[in-house]
Structure 1
Amino acid sequence: MTKVTLLWLRRDLRLFDNAALFYALKERSAVLPIFIFDTDILSKLDDTTDARVTFIHDHVDSVKSTLQKKKSDLIVRKGKPLEVLKALSKEFSVEAIYTNHDYEPYARKRDEAVAKWAEASGIEFKTFKDQTLFEKDEILTDSRKPYTVYTPYKRKVLANLSPFYVKSYPVDLYESSYAKIKSPEKMISLSDIGFQKSSIVLPDDEISTKVLKKYAEDRDYPYLDKGTTRIGVHLRFGTVSIRELAREGQKHSETWLSELIWRDFFMQILWHYPQVETQSFRPEYDKIKWRDSKKDFERWSQGMTGYPLVDAGMRELNATGFMHNRVRMVTASFLCKHLLIHWYEGERYFAKKLLDFDLAANNGNWQWAAGSGCDAAPYFRIFNPTAQADKFDPDSKYIKKWVPEIGTAQYPKPIIQHEEARGRCLQAFTLALKK
């Protein structure tokens, strides 16, 4: 059998500035890239036209085409990762598997199982940091504990962000180490993995310098088409490099760089406190008597609350898979505090709909909005969605785009008055948190 080193692509769908790929090509010969459509993940998706699967499939296909031009190939399989890797070890003489770190609880269990099997099989299993600037225990307090407050974490990151941490890996220097494949395999189709092509148009990975330079002043206004970079989905699946993006931030926008650091912050929170996936970071928030109203949740999720900014955001999300960050905060706060519905219900809905869904960031931001997370706003700070609309969409351009029936009899009356909702929220939170 042919001796190979497998390069297992996951959340890093690119052949440039990729840590695991660089080290595999540099340290080994006959490096064979692989991608696995993980059925443990796909089986949890209830929409066969999920745009994220189309996005992944398109980029996997692109990587495969690029490798074939280099006389190599990307092996693409569907199944449970460990079973696929075991099968590949029977097709090839696998000497090592190289891949990049993933910090989510499911991924950690998956990789632990693979590492155990690899060790028992005499296969070296090596993993690398790639999707973050800093990870795990690289940024700790002076007492060697994880940061749970963002601002001092950011200060420590900026103090340590030397050129070394934003330098790209020169993958192209070692491309001769790719395995040579004489008869490349045909790409599996979307239908082969049980999905259909999505009609949603996803943003490209180009970042405008002009957008970055105006990012600090424009980012809060959802009616501006070019107020943010919309790079989230590319970061989520690693079609862009965090190091390249950080360099752009250093050159053009400290505010935008701060958002990348927030991403790292939430990833290290998830790494150190994996229980936050389903539990409040602050356990006392699990004592709150949350409402279980399917009717109210349905009105929120479909954009029919009678609060125009909330409704515009939810309709944008449902139609496009995207929602402006300012509006994400308002809609999340509204569900948790106006409707008193548990943050986890909203977090799961966003997980289904957001193209750029990332467990660490989504969970961290939802818990921030609810007040239950690390470094969260005090529970008595409750967004007034009407005031937010007046401030960030003063001419209702964004609202009118997504709620065209506003001002007519077809638009619903508010699901609850703001002051009534505020009073109910304060009462419920105070009762639970003062115990």
Structure 2
Amino acid sequence: MPSSPAPSSGALLWFREDLRLADNPALDSAVKSGRPVTAIYVLDEQTEGLRAMGGAARWWLAQSLRALASDCAAMGLPFSVRRGRSDHLVRDALRETGAEAVFWNRRYAAREIEIDAALKEELQGDRFSVQSSNCRLLHEPWEVKSKWGDPFKVFSPYWRAAQARGEPRAPIPRPSKGQIEPGRAIDGESLDSLGLEPTRPDWAGGLRDAWTPGEAGAKARLKAFVEDDLRGYASARDRPDLPSTSRMSPHLRFGEVSPHQLWHAVERAAAEGPATARDVEKFRTELGWREFSHHLLFQFPELASRNFQKRFDDFPWEKPKPSHLMAWRKGLTGFPIVDAGMRQLWRTGWMHNRVRMICASFLIKDLMIDWREGEAWFWDTLVDADPANNAASWQWVAGSGADAAPYFRVFNPSLQGVRFDPDGGYVRAFVPELENMPARYIHAPWEAPPESLSESGVELGKTYPLPIVDHGAARDRALKAFDRMKAESA
């Protein structure tokens, strides 16, 4: 590499987890630099230490990149996708375009930070201009600290401190076609050649039915949420049988929408329409949990692989019984709310948040299986699998994380079903074997009298499984294991 680049006024925009044109600070800075802009995305599966995306996330990425390519073409912005080591390919793109400047938005996992910092130092040493921006978070992880300058480990004080920083900035408007001066186009790979989508078998039919990835899909989903579902969100968000959540998480994961856009969209909805201040505040608190998860990942990079609380290193996890683990993955545990959640996950690549907690609690506490098994399965099957949220949430349920639910809080799956799916609509939607079960028994079909089972067409152990564990006995076993761990770490 020569000591200085060839003279040029070009700018390279490196897309990463920010697959949108509106409220994209890196794009905005590139355009405002007055340079002609060329954009790239690099699928980096070669750099050591990067965690490969799971299957569902890879499917989403393929759709999102197609949408982004179309949006860039409509704006006259040259865009290409390449596969390989990102640091090498960014340098190649700079050389091929003759660009003097590169713009990107920041990432927060430890290995990604290392890659970006090293590349930035090298490029600046070769007299390139490098500008990074924040587009993924309302508050970057190092910005919110206690009055003693320490990172927070409990959500409530963290979120109070974050909110005390003031209102998040307004979203940046999408540039118009005339504002972007096209840079030099460079070759890339076809999306089909990247192998992001399943073929044999093609298991993504349910995902295609459930989602519209891309910035336009995110915009439409947000519009539907604020107009139809934000009202009553505070009280209904725990009901999986109702359309009561935003379903924005995969769009956030891939940066098709920004948290700033969400923050101000719900604020406008409260000012203009039926949503209440309580609904808006509850939704913003969910954005706050996402922020806190990234705050934790930044201070504890091994969040997905190590216990945040070291005392859990001695927890007596049981060796998973293959039959139990497979029953959990396939939604065949005999506990209807758990089975509905796991089947929703497999069919759509997503699961209602309340049900995620129930399913996680069942794996960890009823089956005594290490939380990392569940985190890995969700990582592979969730379209919104995020290195911060996924790991922080699993550790929260396990009791091993920051601000964790106490380990002795063990969800009773039948009672959780009765409370949050009272008429059984959610179970019926994903466990058709129980479609005709009366609501009174749908969350505990083993308690139904023989005539109810017969009339419903249910034969336990044949058409629908019997429970794979006795919840009461499993709860006692989990609590005794927790007591042993406490005694040993005292």
Q: Tell me the TM-score normalized by structure 1.
A: 0.92
C-alpha distance in structure 2 between counterparts of 1:403 and 1:28, whole Å: 57
Deviations 1:213-272 (A, max 9, x none): 221121111111x21111111000011121110112333421111101110011011011
Q: Bigger radius of gyration, 1 or 2?
A: 2
Q: Which residue of 2 aligns with 1:194?
A: 195
Percentage of matched positions with identical amino acids: 34
1:351 pairs with 2:379? yes
Given that residues 305 and 415 in structure 1 are in contact (C-alpha distance below 8 angstroms), is that contact kept between their aligned partners in structure 2?
Answer: yes
Given that residues 54 and 190 in structure 1 are in contact (C-alpha distance below 8 angstroms), is that contact kept between their aligned partners in structure 2?
Answer: no
> Would the alpha carbon gap of residues 41 and 258 (structure 1) be closer, same or farther in structure 2, given more than 3 Å must change?
farther
Aligned partner of 2:393 among 362, 365, 370: 365
C-alpha distance in structure 1 between counterparts of 2:193 and 2:22, whole Å: 28
Q: Which residue of 2 aligns with 1:302?
A: 330
For the residue of structure 1 that corresponds to 2:22, the secondary structure is coil
> Would the alpha carbon gap of residues 233 and 424 (structure 1) be closer, same or farther in structure 2, given more than 3 Å must change?
same
Q: Per-residue deviation at 1:381?
A: 0.9
C-alpha distance in structure 2 between counterparts of 1:258 and 1:70, whole Å: 35
Deviations 1:108-159 (A, max 9, x none): 2321332243234332322111111001221111111111111112222223
Given that residues 300 and 314 in structure 1 are in contact (C-alpha distance below 8 angstroms), is that contact kept between their aligned partners in structure 2?
Answer: yes
Q: Which residue of 2 aligns with 1:29?
A: 35
1:38 pairs with 2:39? no
Q: Which residue of 2 aligns with 1:432?
A: 485
Alignment of 1:73-88 (within 5 A): 73-88=78-93
Amino acid at match of 1:323: M
Q: Which moved more, 1:363-372 or 1:13-22?
A: 13-22
Given that residues 7 and 32 in structure 1 are in contact (C-alpha distance below 8 angstroms), is that contact kept between their aligned partners in structure 2?
Answer: yes
Q: Which moved more, 1:22-31 or 1:172-181?
A: 172-181
Return 5+ residue gaps in structure 1 as ranges: none
Deviations 1:50-77 (A, max 9, x none): 4433432333233333333333311221
Amino acid at match of 1:426: L
Given that residues 75 and 176 in structure 2 are in contact (C-alpha distance below 8 angstroms), is that contact kept between their aligned partners in structure 1?
Answer: no
C-alpha distance in structure 2 between counterparts of 1:136 and 1:175, whole Å: 35
Q: Per-residue deviation at 1:360?
A: 0.5
Q: Which residue of 2 aligns with 1:254?
A: 281
C-alpha distance in structure 2 between counterparts of 1:41 and 1:222, whole Å: 39
> Would the alpha carbon gap of residues 3 and 142 (structure 1) be closer, same or farther in structure 2, given more than 3 Å must change?
same
Alignment of 1:201-280 (within 5 A): 201=208, 202-203=211-212, 204-205=217-218, 206-207=221-222, 208-209=225-226, 210-224=228-242, 226-250=243-267, 251=270, 252=275, 253-280=280-307
Q: Which moved more, 1:114-123 or 1:312-321?
A: 114-123
Amino acid at match of 2:236: D
C-alpha distance in structure 1 between counterparts of 2:331 and 2:484, whole Å: 30
> Would the alpha carbon gap of residues 103 and 393 (structure 1) be closer, same or farther in structure 2, given more than 3 Å must change?
same
Alignment of 1:19-418 (within 5 A): 19-40=25-46, 50-162=55-167, 165-172=168-175, 176-181=179-184, 188-196=189-197, 198-199=204-205, 200-201=207-208, 202-203=211-212, 204-205=217-218, 206-207=221-222, 208-209=225-226, 210-224=228-242, 226-250=243-267, 251=270, 252=275, 253-293=280-320, 294-406=322-434, 407-409=458-460, 410=462, 411-418=464-471
- Number of positions where the alignment pairs a residue of Structure 1 with one of Structure 2: 428
Q: Per-residue deviation at 1:35?
A: 1.1
C-alpha distance in structure 1 between counterparts of 2:465 and 2:70, whole Å: 51
Given that residues 61 and 187 in structure 1 are in contact (C-alpha distance below 8 angstroms), is that contact kept between their aligned partners in structure 2?
Answer: no
RMSD between superposed Cα atoms in Å: 2.3
> Would the alpha carbon gap of residues 248 and 102 (structure 1) be closer, same or farther in structure 2, given more than 3 Å must change?
same
Q: Which residue of 2 aligns with 1:9?
A: 15
C-alpha distance in structure 2 between counterparts of 1:331 and 1:322, whole Å: 13
Q: Per-residue deviation at 1:288?
A: 0.3
For the residue of structure 2 that corresponds to 1:35, the secondary structure is strand
Q: Per-residue deviation at 1:180?
A: 4.1
Deviations 1:158-190 (A, max 9, x none): 23232xx23112452796353345xx5687433
Q: Tell me the TM-score normalized by structure 2.
A: 0.82
Given that residues 285 and 372 in structure 1 are in contact (C-alpha distance below 8 angstroms), is that contact kept between their aligned partners in structure 2?
Answer: yes
Given that residues 237 and 244 in structure 2 are in contact (C-alpha distance below 8 angstroms), is that contact kept between their aligned partners in structure 1?
Answer: yes
Q: Which moved more, 1:190-199 or 1:408-417?
A: 190-199
Amino acid at match of 1:403: V
Deviations 1:266-302 (A, max 9, x none): 1011011113231111110111011111332111111
For the residue of structure 2 that corresponds to 1:276, the secondary structure is coil
Amino acid at match of 1:268: H
Deviations 1:340-388 (A, max 9, x none): 1111110010000000111101111100000001111111111111110
> Would the alpha carbon gap of residues 70 and 221 (structure 1) be closer, same or farther in structure 2, given more than 3 Å must change?
closer
Q: Which moved more, 1:226-235 or 1:112-121?
A: 112-121
C-alpha distance in structure 1 between counterparts of 2:38 and 2:65, whole Å: 14
C-alpha distance in structure 2 between counterparts of 1:117 and 1:168, whole Å: 32
C-alpha distance in structure 2 between counterparts of 1:216 and 1:185, whole Å: 48
Q: Which moved more, 1:263-272 or 1:110-119?
A: 110-119
